[in-house]
Homo-oligomer: A and B are copies of this chain.
Amino acid sequence: MPIDRRTILGAVPVLLAAAEPAAGAPAAPEGALPGAYRYRLGAATLTALHEGTLARPLEASFIPNAPIEAVRAAMAQAFLPTDRLDITFTTLLIEAGGHRILVDTGFADNGPPGTGGTLRGLAAAGIERAAIDTVVMSHFHLDHVLGLRLKDGSLTYPNAEVLVPEAEWAFWMDEAAAARAPERLRPNFAAVRRIFGSGGPRVTRFGWDREIRPGLTALPAPGHTPGHTVFLLESEGARLLHLSDVTNHPALFVRHPDWSAVFDIDADQARATRRTLLDRAAGERLQVAFYHAPFPATGHVARAGDGYAFVPVQWGAPG
């Protein structure tokens, strides 16, 4: 059964953004260049891939537990627009131990204008889609999972084993959960079932606190979704903690970890997870990656006041 593209695309604005650019959002320059940033971690080579950007109006409903004035002040402090939020997406290619592992997929060609950069970035980096042997999913929100198939229904990464969190699979595949899902999550339930249904990828489920590929360990980070997972990559003593969607934009949610975006399915649990993992990253001075940090979406976390600050990596250093 081919993926019903209208159903999937219909769900994207619900989760992510208005279908139309937010007022005041300038158009991207024509002929945007692919964003691909390659860096090293021990013996591993990592390539951050700029999947794209969607702008959404910045309204009070986005962070229900913070005054909109405080949200706009945080944006201004970061020299960002105060009337819209540009949500960026960064997928991560890990080349280590003989594997080529893609962490999350973005939209492939199923997304709104301004997305799909992972495919352009892979091409720029000279990596064939067929050469990806592993796709690791942090969770099943549409901006992460839609890119498992192209819009013609074929597999984007035809030779990849797709590793998915057991708890995430259980949630989205549960008939009772689907039946009681709030309206805004229903298209996501439908899309997940179609993506993993007939003709879908070869799936292997994993439990938390397991090494799912050599040096790559899946760690629990529930709250954003029930099975939301982060990943610790270790190579020759170097470590990187991929924080997935533990925060949305760092200028808001690393700085103010108690603020909750509407995307968190269990806001209280997500907040506790966020505090725990940001504090670990800061305490251990771990290099981190995020899916929704500005490209190349890697850096460090420092304690700052009653929250934290994201310090982006310094592009251009040789290592």
Q: Hey, which bits of chain A sit against chain B, CB under 8 A?
A: 21, 25-29, 31-33, 35-40, 45, 47, 50, 52-53, 55, 77-80, 86, 88, 90, 114, 124-126, 251, 285, 294-296, 299-300, 302, 311-319
A53 near B114 with CB under 8 A, answer no
Identical chains in the assembly = 2
Nearest CB of chain B from residue A111's CB, rounded to whole Å:
14
Nearest CB of chain B from residue A310's CB, rounded to whole Å:
11
B38 near A26 with CB under 8 A, answer no
Nearest CB of chain B from residue A251's CB, rounded to whole Å:
8
Q: How many Å lie between the Cα of A206 and that of B126 in the bound state? A: 44
A33 near B27 with CB under 8 A, answer no
Known: A78-B311, A299-B79. A88 touches B316 (CB 8 A): yes
Q: How many Å lie between the Cα of A80 and that of B285 in the bound state? A: 11
Q: How many Å lie between the Cα of A50 and that of B314 in the bound state? A: 12
A50 near B315 with CB under 8 A, answer yes
Nearest CB of chain B from residue A247's CB, rounded to whole Å:
14
CB nearest to A37 among chain B residues:
B33
Q: How many Å lie between the Cα of A311 and that of B309 in the bound state? A: 12
CB nearest to A296 among chain B residues:
B315
Q: How many Å lie between the Cα of A86 and that of B300 in the bound state? A: 17
A294 near B315 with CB under 8 A, answer yes
Nearest CB of chain B from residue A233's CB, rounded to whole Å:
15
Among A31, A77, A126, A312, max chain B CB count under 10 A is at A312
B300 near A316 with CB under 8 A, answer no
23 sampled A-B residue pairs with Cβ under 8 A = A26-B318, A27-B318, A27-B319, A28-B40, A28-B318, A28-B319, A29-B38, A33-B37, A33-B38, A33-B124, A35-B316, A52-B316, A53-B317, A53-B318, A77-B302, A78-B311, A79-B299, A86-B316, A88-B314, A294-B313, A294-B316, A296-B315, A312-B312
Q: How many Å lie between the Cα of A32 and that of B28 in the bound state? A: 25
CB nearest to A27 among chain B residues:
B318
Known: A79-B285, A312-B312. A86 touches B318 (CB 8 A): yes
A294 near B318 with CB under 8 A, answer no
* Chain B positions within 8 Å of A53 at CB level: 316-318
Known: A79-B285, A300-B79, A311-B79. A317 touches B86 (CB 8 A): yes
CB nearest to A53 among chain B residues:
B316
CB nearest to A46 among chain B residues:
B29
A45 near B33 with CB under 8 A, answer no
* Chain B positions within 8 Å of A21 at CB level: 318
Nearest CB of chain B from residue A277's CB, rounded to whole Å:
17
* Chain B positions within 8 Å of A88 at CB level: 314-317
CB nearest to A311 among chain B residues:
B79
A38 near B32 with CB under 8 A, answer yes
CB nearest to A88 among chain B residues:
B316
* Chain B positions within 8 Å of A316 at CB level: 35, 50, 52-53, 86, 88, 90, 294-295
Q: How many Å lie between the Cα of A80 and that of B295 in the bound state? A: 19
Q: How many Å lie between the Cα of A251 and that of B300 in the bound state? A: 14
* Chain B positions within 8 Å of A39 at CB level: 29
